[in-house]
Structure 1
């Protein structure tokens, strides 16, 4: 019986090509379902924001009783959001840290409950005006679809990991009409290695989800920067300054986000279910005086593209959007930070561009370039995923002519944040979730086995060593090595080379610790 179970666990490794083909087909199904769900999510958000804008327009023509009624509605929405988060803790916040935790085996998810809670909570929170984005919920919705398909088809855990990743990349692709960014996000952020199986399944899911999205929203890019000129190379020195500014501000963003979360967690003067009411009340006042700060901020970026805002107004928008994002996300309601941080980055780029145009007499023709480049730089500093940031902004603006400048400014901001010793925001959030998680989420008897897929970097501790000469962590077994298309059955004298993919069987309860130890051994510069 044991041998039969082990054979079932290892069968994907012994039939690797068939396994990848099956993943490809299943990923198309997941891409279609995830795309349809995220499209519906985007549609509901757009309609709810239209209703919200109409409400504020009508309230401006009404008396005090209608103002009171609106704030009572906001309080009711806040209480409902607090109840949703209490009922389904995995629906809180962005959702991307939760997906990362699920892939590493540190968190567990009830896919159907998460879909319902994330969808309803996201529409309520963003629709009511909180400064949150649709991308985090979209990624988690897609990941939940992937897990649901895996469970319904009775797939093994190793296959489920790929299907969850496929759903997550499809969610991002459908949220922003950015299929390439969805794939790179899966490789750079979720798995942090280049896996052919991940690439193949994520690409199939992302392209399918993007196809579904384009059928509904059209093929146009998310942001409307028309005829953006190519920045001359002699202006690239200004990109270094922009990258430094975005790197420092990105560090401050991550620091402020954790401080905001800690503030709400230590707020003991009211029950936790009342916490979402606070940012909603704040948003209610902003709706009358600074409505551009509400929601994700897509319309604010479009207004920057039209160039109608002065420097003083840009600074006001930056301060309002930054602190309202902290207040909104810190409350723990369902909603992401992708879009708000891109909006804040765009404001930083606009302010920087206006300053260098005024002081250094840069041609105003290139002002919009700084807006677009700052979005990528700010994203790279906060998420520490410069390739994803560059590709994402490229797809969202609809032009590949600026890729060199995007990568340049993104890498500068990444290096600055690295010097400041800032961790990626989703790792910070995952660490915080794990430190405060419900014990039920980590309850594990250790009876199940899982397979860890590990990429060996050139120059790592494992590179060039024989298997028998390596001090392996306890509770694990190396069962297969993939070197290109070649499968190697490991023996004591087998030498591991840089670029190899190692497949290691480990008890499910030991997987996070073993994965952490082996990642250090196989990592670059270890």
Structure 2
């Protein structure tokens, strides 16, 4: 005789599906407004830096102080009103889903929004998806509670809202839904799948009304690769796998250094990071910020090998240091920028030394975006779909499969856990302190 389980229980499924659409619509609205705010902040930062360059030393000083103050204020908002808003927010969401942390307060949405705009807009190498994922989860829990859903349905809606936040951040509805199943809950359940799909659909429907429906990145049409290129993409995946291991460990190392400075006020530590970012912005303004412009340049094949190596080196360090500041901000966008640059460099080398194997280095940049995501997060299906939706390059699915296959093996053999597992464990070890 078949046992009735939560999975087999379809009571209230229609109401849950309807609520998931509402959750998605609200998450999409907030996510689109957050993204538009970041774009305005980026434009202001560009004009501000251009003005500062005309003022010589005075301008440099003002930029450094302003960036330090913005970063410190973002951390103050987090510490004062919503400590759970620190960092990405994805480990916090996973902890709530596992019953290890209470649901987020409604004030978190405002703190994550304002703090994220201040930090990312100031030039820290952080992603917009962290704030939108956690804001989406908070919105979903609020709506579930408002409509008197049970604890199980509230958890389902919370996961779906987080996926809707990711969908809105990158204009990637399928990746948002798959992220819920592959990363957040790590199992397939009918109620969760329906809610995730509904929330992502609702988020994209609203977000595209505000932000448009074009893919995030412009990419020239890519031909279907020949079978002989598979070996090159396997090698790319192995190299990117090593890069992913190093990047994960660098983030943890930066957080460890920040912990050793715990005698300093959190705002002082953040101001120090902000001052460094402000100084870098005065020297090389194209290297700061979330990284979308850097990714776009890689997809256009821009830069010499020397320039690309410099960008990878600076962004590698900047991403870890920025995350350790404790402001709201995610890992995805900087990770994708790092992968695109590394992939372009690998492609350039292949084109030069093995012209019969590879013809266009930009294809390697796209594939490396998915591979570095896989190496760090260990969610290959989400990574492949995300890179495909963001670039519109469905012809590169076979290379992505090959590269992500290798990018999964390398960190696993090196005993490097997924980054969000590491951050989740770190959060629990800190006994009440917010995870970053």
Question: Greater shift after overlay, 244-253 or 363-372?
Answer: 363-372
Correspondence for 2:71 among 68, 78, 92: 78
- Following TM superposition, by how much is the alpha carbon of 1:141 offset from its aligned partner in structure 2, in angstroms? 0.7
Q: Which residue in the other structure is 1:97 paired with?
A: 91
1:484 aligns with: none
Q: Does 1:38 align with 2:35?
A: no
| C-alpha contact 1:111 1:144 (8 A) present in aligned 2 | yes
Identify if the C-alpha distance between structure 1 residues 12 and 40 changes in structure 2 by more than 3 Å, giving closer, same or farther: farther
Aligned to 1:284: 278
The alignment status of 1:59 with 2:52, answered yes or no, reads yes
Q: 1: CA distance between counterparts of 2:189 and 2:401?
A: 22
Higher strand fraction (1 or 2): 1
Question: Conserved in 2, the CA contact under 8 Å of 1:239 and 1:409?
Answer: yes
Residue matched to 1:116: 110
Task: Tell me the residue number matched to 1:463.
Answer: none
Task: Give the Cα–Cα distance (whole angstroms) in 1 for the partners of residues 416 and 166 of structure 2.
Answer: 24
| Partner of residue 21 from structure 2, selected from 28, 42, 46 | 28
Q: How does 1:444-463 map to 2 (within 5 A)?
A: none
Aligned partner of 1:270 in structure 2 is 264
Which secondary structure does the structure 1 equivalent of 2:11 belong to? helix
SS at match of 1:422: coil
- In structure 2, the residue matched to 1:208 is 202
Shift in Å, 1:213: 1.4
Shift of residue 365 of structure 1? 3.6
1:288: Cα distance to partner? 1.8
Is the 8 Å Cα contact of residues 247 and 416 (structure 1) preserved in structure 2?
yes
Question: Are residue 332 (structure 1) and residue 318 (structure 2) matched?
Answer: no
2:145 pairs with 1:151: yes
**Displacement of 1:162:** 0.6
Q: Could you say what secondary structure the match of 1:270 adopts?
A: coil
Deviations 1:251-285 (A, max 9, x none): 11111111110100111452222111122111111
Return the offset for 1:322: 0.5
Distance of 1:273 and 1:151 partners within structure 2: 34
CA distance in 1, matches of 2:116, 2:97: 23
Unmatched 5+ residue regions in structure 2? none
SS in 2 for 1:111: coil
| CA gap 1:52/1:371 in 2 versus in 1, 3 angstroms | same
Match of 2:132 in 1: 138
TM-superposed CA distance for 1:212, in Å, is: 1.1
What is the aligned partner in structure 2 of residue 394 from structure 1? 388
For 1:213 and 1:198, the matched residues in 2 are separated by 22
CA contact (8 A) 2:52 2:58 kept: no
Determine if contact 1:260/1:326 at 8 Å carries over to the other structure. Answer: yes
1:192 maps to 2:202: no
RMSD over aligned Cα, in angstroms? Answer: 1.8
Structure 1: distance between partners of 2:104 and 2:391: 36
SS in 2 for 1:333: coil
- Relative distance call for 1:109 and 1:233 in structure 2 (3 A) is same
Instruction: Describe the SS at the equivalent of 2:308.
Output: helix
Aligned residue pairs: how many? Answer: 431
Q: Which has the larger radius of gyration?
A: 1
- Larger RCO (CA within 8 A; separation ≥ 6): 2
The answer for the alignment partner of 2:229 in structure 1 is: 235
Map of 1:347 onto structure 2: 341
Secondary structure, counterpart of 1:225 in structure 2: coil
Matches within 5 A, 1:127-526: 127-268=121-262, 270-362=264-356, 365-438=359-432
Q: Partner of 1:154: helix, strand, or coil?
A: coil
Summarize deviations over 1:271-329 as a string: whole Å, max 9, x none: 22211112211111111222222111111111122323000000000000000111100
Q: Give the 3 Å change call, closer, same or farther, for CA 382–407 of structure 1 in structure 2.
A: same
Ranges in structure 1 where 5+ consecutive residues have no aligned partner: 1-10, 442-526
- CA shift, 1:404, in A, is 2.0
1:419 shift after superposition: 0.9
